[in-house]
Amino acid sequence: MASPTLKPPQPKLDRPRIDIGVEEEVWNGFVRRWEAFKTGSGIGEATASMQLFLCASEPLGDLLLKADPNIQSKPIDEVKSTMRQFAVIPVAIGVRRTEFLQLRQAPDELFCTFAPRVKGKAETCMFTTTATCTCNETVQADYTTETVRDVLLAGIADLDIRREALSTHDIQNKSVNDVIAFVEGREMARNATPTTSMSALSAFKKRQAHENDTPKKLSPPDTNKQVPCPDCGKKFDIYKQKTNGS
pLDDT in tens, 177-217: 999 999 999 999 988 876 555 555 566 666 676 666 666 66
Residue 85 CA neighbour count, 13 Å, CB half: 10
End-to-end CA distance of the chain: 136
Buried b (16+ CB within 10 A) or exposed e, 162-181: beebeeeeeeeebebeebbe
Q: Tell me how far apart the alpha carbons of residues 50 and 43 are, in angstroms, rounded to a whole number.
A: 10
Q: What is the mean pLDDT of residues 37-43?
A: 93
pTM, whole model, 2 decimals?
Answer: 0.68
Give Cα 241 distance to the centre of its chain.
76
Cα R_g (the chain), whole angstroms: 36
Q: What is the mean pLDDT of residues 66-81?
A: 94
Give the model's confidence band at 238: pLDDT under 50 very low, under 70 low, under 90 confident, else very high. low
Domains recognised in the chain with CATH numbers: 24-87 (no CATH), 93-191 (1.10.1200)
Which of the residue ranges 45-49, 172-176, 227-231 would you say has the lowest mean pLDDT? 227-231
By three-state DSSP, how is residue 18 classified?
A: strand
pLDDT averaged over the chain?
85
Q: What is the mean pLDDT of residues 51-78?
A: 94
Q: Tell me how far apart the alpha carbons of residues 144 and 152 are, in angstroms, rounded to a whole number.
A: 12
Buried b (16+ CB within 10 A) or exposed e, 206-225: eeeeeeeeeeeeeeeeeeee
Q: Is the pLDDT at 109 greater than 90, yes or no?
A: yes
Q: What is the mean pLDDT of residues 62-86?
A: 94
pLDDT of residue 163: 95
Cβ(85)–Cβ(20) below 8 Å: no
Q: Tell me how far apart the alpha carbons of residues 110 and 108 are, in angstroms, rounded to a whole number.
A: 7
Amino acid type, 11: P
Give the model's confidence band at 137: pLDDT under 50 very low, under 70 low, under 90 confident, else very high. confident
Q: Which of 21, 16, 30 is nearest to 63 (CA)?
A: 21
Q: Report pLDDT digits (tens) over 5-14.
A: 666 666 788 9
Q: Which stretches of the chain are assigned E, i.e. beta strand?
A: 128-132, 138-142, 226-228, 235-237
pLDDT of residue 232: 74
Count other C-beta atoms under 10 Å from residue 49's C-beta.
19
Q: 214 φ, ψ to 5°?
A: -70, 125
Q: Tell me how far apart the alpha carbons of residues 182 and 171 are, in angstroms, rounded to a whole number.
A: 9
Q: What is the mean pLDDT of residues 35-64?
A: 94
Specify the DSSP class assigned to residue 22: B
pLDDT of residue 132: 83
Give Cα 238 distance to the centre of its chain.
70
